[in-house]
């Protein structure tokens, strides 16, 4: 099968790495790709958010499956355009991707599907929202639209919440806001490969959003992840599949917008059970990097089956032990990441894997920093601690000016 992976981050590098091992693969391309994916598959130039361009590229290369990594192409309708052209695609149509693109829509779907989630009021009148917030206590204020991790404020008081409404109202994404019941508990990500009706779970994982060790410092796109995050039993995960994933798929299908792709549930494990904080319409980054390392199954038939509406509904085959992925971020990330530093030590990594994201080649062929999150260094081990130590050792061999990394990825893992 001829496969095209769309995107240029660590998630897409990891997907390409995993797909490249599939016996049924005959050709693999990544568009636009990065210096890391180039070692696996040729890069094709494309603007991933231009549906007609992606369709033309897929036709040119006789692609039989497109795997869409990031959310922006999905929201832009790349899934719709490919399907309309008869090209199977792993990734939902824009109407179904709204489950990520609009938190109000996601809430509506969850209520209709009976999925456990925080109670919320949706406001399009921001003055009314600010008044409502000011009159109450601790609450979570969320911008409806995509806000690159800057659209949520967990407020400790009514005054702070009202202030958050005004601040979010300055963003295009914040013209509609949600005032949401504030929950508490550890967080966990559960992703499923979906074919519109069926769902196969990937191992549960935990991301680390803050820049610094101990979950301090500013929010980022994610500084590392590990899997499996055993905060739930296998029976509880099966319950998530049946009581979160399947009803959500059923509700989307009932509305005529079946979801074919990766459904990502951000969960909070509250004293009254797991509740969904948000859905994403694609795989997480950096979670995918460790999930691909943990997956023993052949990924290609699963993604192809999901794209065609014929996913084999059986548990995913996974490796024993744990995977830890540590992000190496650029100097100045997340506020003002600095590009241009030469990266050294990329060659010798033992059995750790290094997935590229914000890298490019300069005129002399050296790999340099070109984005905020530069690399994800991943390793497996019998325990989270062992995997973390291996990943840290491999990470320490890779250097560039101002490199930032966390040394505590996986700290939320339950003691074995």
Least gap, CB of 115 to ligand ADP (angstroms):
14
Among 77, 92, 151, 222, binds ligand ADP (CB under 6 A): 151
Q: Which residues pair with 89 in a beta bridge?
A: 66
Q: In what order do the strands lie in the sheet with 27-32?
A: 27-32, 2-7, 65-68, 89-90
Per CB under 6 A, the segment of 24-32, 80-88, 162-170, 179-187 that binds ligand ADP is: 179-187
Among 32, 247, 266, 301, binds ligand ADP (CB under 6 A): 266
Burial of 138 (0-12, 13-18, 19+ CB in 10 A): middle
Give the CB-nearest residue to ligand ADP: 278
Nearer to Mg ion, 142 or 390 (CB): 142
Nearer to Mg ion, 71 or 251 (CB): 71
Q: Which two tokens stand for residue 61?
A: 């290369």
| Cβ-based neighbours of 344, under 8 Å, separated by 6 or more | 398, 399, 400
Nearer to Mg ion, 138 or 266 (CB): 266
Per CB under 6 A, 277 contacts ligand ADP: yes
Among 247, 266, 301, 321, binds Mg ion (CB under 5 A): 266
Nearer to Mg ion, 103 or 198 (CB): 103
Least gap, CB of 207 to Mg ion (angstroms):
8
Least gap, CB of 180 to Mg ion (angstroms):
13
Per CB under 6 A, the segment of 23-31, 66-74, 150-158, 234-242 that binds ligand ADP is: 150-158
Strands (DSSP E) along 56-186, which ranges? Answer: 65-68, 89-90, 120-123, 139-143, 152-155, 177-180
Nearer to Mg ion, 217 or 301 (CB): 217
Per CB under 6 A, 118 contacts ligand ADP: yes
The size of the interface with ligand ADP (CB under 6 A), counted in residues, is 14
Nearer to Mg ion, 247 or 266 (CB): 266
Q: Rounded to 5 degrees, what angle do the CA atoms 63, 196, 232 make?
A: 110
Least gap, CB of 259 to ligand ADP (angstroms):
18
Nearer to Mg ion, 189 or 359 (CB): 189
Among 80, 93, 144, 180, binds ligand ADP (CB under 6 A): 180
Q: Which residue, among 345, 353, 357, has the nearest Cα to 391 in the 3D structure?
A: 353
- Tell me how far CA of residue 157 lies from CA of 117, 126, 133, 140, in angstroms: 21, 18, 9, 10
Q: Residue 183 — left, alpha, or beta (φ > 0 → left; ψ -120 to 50 → alpha)?
A: beta
Q: What single string gives the DSSP state of each residue in 88-114? A: -EES--HHHHHHHH-HHHHHHHHHHHT
Give the CB-nearest residue to Mg ion: 266
Question: Which of the 8 DSSP states describes residue 136?
Answer: S
CA atoms within 13 A on the CB side of 52: 0
In the complex, which residues of this chain contact Mg ion (CB under 5 A)? 266
In the complex, which residues of this chain contact ligand ADP (CB under 6 A)? 118, 140, 149, 151-152, 154, 180-183, 187, 266, 277-278
């Amino acid at each position: 099968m001829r496969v095209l992976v769309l995107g240029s981050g660590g998630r897409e590098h990891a997907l390409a790495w995993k797909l490249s091992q599939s016996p049924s693969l005959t050709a693999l391309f990544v568009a636009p790709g990065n210096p890391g994916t180039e070692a696996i598959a040729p890069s094709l130039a494309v603007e991933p958010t231009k549906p007609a361009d992606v369709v033309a590229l897929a036709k040119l290369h006789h692609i039989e499956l497109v795997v869409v990594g990031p959310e922006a192409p999905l929201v832009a309708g790349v899934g719709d355009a490919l399907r309309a052209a008869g090209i199977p695609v792993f990734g939902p149509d824009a109407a179904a991707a709204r489950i990520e693109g609009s938190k109000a829509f996601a809430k509506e779907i969850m209520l209709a599907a009976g999925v456990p989630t925080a109670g919320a009021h949706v406001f399009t009148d921001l003055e009314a929202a600010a008044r409502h917030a000011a009159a109450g206590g601790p609450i979570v204020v969320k911008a409806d639209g995509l806000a690159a991790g800057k659209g949520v404020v967990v407020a400790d008081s009514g005054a702070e919440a009202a202030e958050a409404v005004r601040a979010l109202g300055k963003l295009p994404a914040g013209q509609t806001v949600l005032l949401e019941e504030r929950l508490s508990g550890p967080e966990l990500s559960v992703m499923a490969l979906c074919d519109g009706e069926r769902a196969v779970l990937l191992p549960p994982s935990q991301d680390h959003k803050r820049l610094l060790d101990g979950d301090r410092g500013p929010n980022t796109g994610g500084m590392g992840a590990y899997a499996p995050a055993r905060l739930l039993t296998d029976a509880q995960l099966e319950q998530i599949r049946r009581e979160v994933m399947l009803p959500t798929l059923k509700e989307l299908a009932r509305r005529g917008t079946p979801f074919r792709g990766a459904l990502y549930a951000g969960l909070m494990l509250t004293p009254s059970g797991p509740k969904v904080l948000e859905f994403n319409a694609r795989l997480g980054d950096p979670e995918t990097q460790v999930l691909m390392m943990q997956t023993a199954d052949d990924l290609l038939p699963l993604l192809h089956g999901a794209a065609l509406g014929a996913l084999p509904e059986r548990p995913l085959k996974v490796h024993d032990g744990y995977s830890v992925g540590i992000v190496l971020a650029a100097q100045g990330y997340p506020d003002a990441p600095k590009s241009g530093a030469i990266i050294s030590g990329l060659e010798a990594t033992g059995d750790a894997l290094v997935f590229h994201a914000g890298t490019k080649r300069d005129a002399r062929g050296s790999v340099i920093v070109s984005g905020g999150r530069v690399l994800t260094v991943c390793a497996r081990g019998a325990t989270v601690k062992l995997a973390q130590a291996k990943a840290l050792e491999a990470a320490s061999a890779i250097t560039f000016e101002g490199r930032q990394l966390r040394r505590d990825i996986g700290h939320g893992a339950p003691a074995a």
